[in-house]
């Protein structure tokens, strides 16, 4: 319960920072949080938390079920699946993966919005997404020291 509340607080804080400090192109701090949490706790729990944060983002956007619930649970699943296959984990692998997942996230949201909502996205300039990926990668590098997996004693989401 304590862990759940801590996660929820961090997710809300990430959303607040995204909404207040950034106009136009916004970083995806929540994706970074979901990825790190999934790395720590893996499998179904990571996916459940990914889905929960996706639900929060969608609610803040004015819908109940939206594309972020799909994209964030997919990100949690993918990062955990990759982690399972890796012998080691370092900042380089972590950064590359978050960059890839950030692009996958944008792609999934784009497809979902086009297919399920019919939202016309052809007006959106590509620089919005490029900046989003850059911001997200920078955030993941900055957060790595505090959230990296494998460091059991000092970790934020300790079991």
Partner 1 sequence: MLRKKFFLFVFFIILLFALLTLQGIKGKSRFIDFPLYPLKLLEQGGTAVINSVKNTFNSYIMIVGKEEENRRLADELNEFKEAENRYLETGLENERLRKILQLKSRRHDYVTSAEVFARDPSSWFQKLWINKGTDDGVERDMVVVTSLGPVGRIHRVMKQGANVMLITDVNSSVAVRLQSSRIEGILEGRGDDRCYMKYVSKDVKVKPGELIITSGLEGIYPRGMLIGYVTDVKSEGEEIFQLIEVAPAQSLSTLEEVAVLKR
Min CB(24)–partner 1 separation in Å: 4
Distance separating alpha carbons of residues 148 and 91, to the nearest angstrom: 8
Residue 24 or 92 having the CB closest to partner 1: 24
Min CB(153)–partner 1 separation in Å: 27
Min CB(71)–partner 1 separation in Å: 10
Interacting residues toward partner 1 by CB under 8 A: 12-13, 15-21, 23-26, 28, 30, 43-44, 47, 51, 55-57, 59-70, 73-74, 77, 81, 84, 109, 112-113, 116-117, 119-121, 123-125, 128-129, 132
Residue 144 burial (10 A CB sphere; 0-12, 13-18, 19+): middle
Query: Which tokens in the block code for residue 118?
Result: 């019919």
For residue 74, the number of C-alpha atoms closer than 13 Å in the C-beta half-sphere is 16
Kindly give, in sequence order, each residue whose CB lies less than 8 Å from that of residue 113, ignoring residues fewer than 6 positions away.
67, 119, 121
Residue 91 or 119 having the CB closest to partner 1: 119
Residue 120 or 153 having the CB closest to partner 1: 120
Min CB(154)–partner 1 separation in Å: 26
> Which backbone phi and psi does 158 adopt, to 5 degrees?
-75, 140
Write down the residue that tokens 């192109």 correspond to: 25
Residue 65 or 91 having the CB closest to partner 1: 65
């Amino acid at each position: 319960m304590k862990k759940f509340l801590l996660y929820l607080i961090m997710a809300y804080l990430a959303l607040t920072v995204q909404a207040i400090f950034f106009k136009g192109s916004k970083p995806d701090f929540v994706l970074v949080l979901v990825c790190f949490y999934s790395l720590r706790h893996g499998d179904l729990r990571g996916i459940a938390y990914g889905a929960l944060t996706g639900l929060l983002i969608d609610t803040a956007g004015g819908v109940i079920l939206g594309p972020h619930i799909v994209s964030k649970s997919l990100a949690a699943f993918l990062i955990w699946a990759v982690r399972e296959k890796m012998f080691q984990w370092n900042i380089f692998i972590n950064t590359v993966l978050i960059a890839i997942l950030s692009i996958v996230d944008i792609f999934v949201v784009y497809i979902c919005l086009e297919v399920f909502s019919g939202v016309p996205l052809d007006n959106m300039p590509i620089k919005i997404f490029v900046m989003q990926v850059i911001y997200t990668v920078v955030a993941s590098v900055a957060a790595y020291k505090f959230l990296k997996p494998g460091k059991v004693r000092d970790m934020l989401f300790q079991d």
